[in-house]
């Protein structure tokens, strides 16, 4: 397995087309695209890495997995009255279906749906407390108290996030936000600004593997359901393509990170900042395709 990871990193490093780094968040525009890391945290506790696996990056929408787990922990299945469970077939920041569907976002992984999950774990507390709880969850999952929020990334997004503000205002106009737009956006921009290395992210994802060795942060049924959402909606309008090419549940972020779960086996984090046309890591997706092919790991047997 170590040889495979090193080979995957070598192939990625040699790739002539690394995709385009996200520029709409100014703080991310300056990230060097020539970076690639991969980490695999196995269910038995082993961890293997290759490439730039220790370099911290902005996890962005990968945070939506942890936010979903926290929101479900707060309100259980009540959450599904406020957000759907269907792929949208549209880009992560699309506003198109919100009007047609009365302010109920299609799923918790597009931006509109993630604003609802953030609003859900924020309810009854303030942004500082809520973010403390989210970080606490992630740190416990990763067994790593050094995981933190990059304040510059959070501020960068807060001052330029007009699209997310518009989504939040639309949700509010439909009565689907409990806290103020400013509080929800302040919290969600900090949530997206969480920074982790591949090693830390792979460790944090272990709560989604089926294993007797993992910290029992969520019950089995909830774990399966979060994996199902990752499989169907984790890559936005590229979710079908990722399922076809990789065959494992995954969640991407515009920072170039992807968290992939091989149920019963391992939690995998891959990172390369250049994105494909869906806003998902280009080399990360290619690396996972190679990984799945060579290991034979797939939820489809
Ligand atoms: N914070 C990012 C945004 O709102 C998250 C999007 C993403 O990672 N796909 O645009």
| 164 close to ligand 1 (CB < 6 Angstrom) | yes
- CA 216 to ligand 1 center in whole angstroms: 28
Local confidence band at 174 (pLDDT 50, 70, 90 cut-offs): very high
Mean per-residue pLDDT, 248-253: 98
CA distance 142 to 227: 18
Q: Would you state the pLDDT for residue 300?
A: 96
How many angstroms separate the alpha carbon of residue 7 from the centre of ligand 1? 30
**CA 246 to ligand 1 centroid distance, Å:** 22
| pLDDT band with cut points at 50, 70 and 90 for residue 73 | very high
Half-sphere exposure at residue 243, Cβ-oriented, CA atoms within 13 angstroms: 18
pLDDT at 212: 82
Count of beta carbons in the 10 Å neighbourhood of residue 301: 5
Q: Which of 158, 167, 192, 196 to mutate to test the pocket of ligand 1 (most atoms within 8 A of CB)?
A: 192
Name all domains of the chain by residue range, CATH numbers in brackets.
2-60+196-295 (3.40.710.10), 63-194 (3.40.710.10)
Question: Which ligand 1 atom is at minimum distance from the Cα of 24?
Answer: 10
Task: Please say if the pLDDT value at position 258 is more than 80.
Answer: yes
Determine whether the shortest distance from the Cβ of 218 to ligand 1 is under 6 A.
no
Would you say residue 214 has pLDDT above 80?
A: no
Share of the chain above pLDDT 70, in %: 100
111 Cα to the center of ligand 1, angstroms: 7
Alpha carbon of 186 to ligand 1 centroid (Å): 14
- Mutating to test ligand 1, I would choose from 25, 150, 238 the residue with most ligand atoms within 8 A of its C-beta, which is 25
Evaluate: CB of 92 within 6 angstroms of ligand 1: yes
Give the integer Cα–Cα distance in Å for 70 and 163.
Answer: 24
Q: What is the pLDDT of residue 114?
A: 98
Please write the tens of the pLDDT for every residue from 41-70: 999 999 999 999 999 999 999 999 999 999
Q: Please report which confidence band the pLDDT of residue 211 belongs to, taking 50, 70 and 90 as the band edges.
A: confident
The answer, as to whether pTM is greater than 0.95, is yes
276 — pLDDT class (breaks 50, 70, 90): very high
ipTM of the complex, rounded to two decimals: 0.96
Ligand 1 binding pocket mutation candidate from 58, 62, 92, 256 (most atoms within 8 A of CB): 92
**What is the number of the ligand 1 atom nearest to the C-alpha of 93?**
10
Q: Which two tokens stand for residue 124?
A: 């009854």
Residue owning tokens 């990172």 = 271
Tens-digit pLDDT profile for residues 6-42: 999 999 999 999 999 999 999 999 999 999 999 999 9
Q: Which atom of ligand 1 is nearest to the CA of 192?
A: 1
């Amino acid at each position: 397995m170590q040889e495979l990871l090193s080979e995957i990193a070598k192939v990625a490093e040699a790739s002539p087309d690394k995709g385009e780094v996200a520029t709409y968040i100014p703080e991310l525009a300056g990230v060097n695209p020539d970076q690639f890391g991969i980490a695999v945290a196995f269910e038995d506790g082993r961890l293997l890495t290759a490439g730039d696996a220790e370099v911290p990056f902005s996890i962005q929408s990968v945070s939506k997995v942890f936010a979903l787990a926290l929101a479900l922990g707060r309100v259980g299945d009540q959450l599904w009255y406020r957000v759907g469970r269907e792929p949208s077939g549209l880009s992560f920041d699309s506003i198109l279906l919100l009007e047609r569907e009365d302010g109920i976002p299609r799923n918790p992984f597009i931006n509109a749906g993630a604003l609802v999950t953030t609003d859900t774990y924020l309810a009854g507390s303030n942004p500082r407390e809520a973010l403390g709880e989210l970080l606490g969850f992630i740190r416990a999952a990763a067994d790593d108290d050094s995981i933190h929020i990059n304040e510059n990334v959070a501020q960068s997004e807060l001052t330029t996030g007009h699209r997310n503000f518009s989504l939040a205002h639309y949700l509010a106009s439909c009565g689907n936000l409990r806290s103020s737009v400013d509080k929800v956006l302040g919290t969600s921009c900090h949530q997206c600004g969480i920074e982790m290395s591949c090693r830390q992210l792979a460790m944090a994802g272990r709560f989604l593997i089926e294993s007797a060795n993992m910290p029992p942060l969520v019950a089995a049924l909830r774990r399966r359901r979060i994996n199902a959402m990752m499989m169907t909606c984790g890559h936005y309008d590229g979710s079908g393509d990722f399922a076809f090419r990789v065959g494992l549940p995954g969640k991407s972020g515009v920072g170039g990170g992807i968290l992939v779960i091989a149920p019963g086996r391992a939690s995998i984090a891959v990172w390369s900042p250049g994105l494909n046309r869906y806003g998902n890591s280009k080399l990360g997706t290619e690396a996972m395709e190679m990984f799945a092919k060579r290991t034979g790991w797939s939820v489809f047997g």
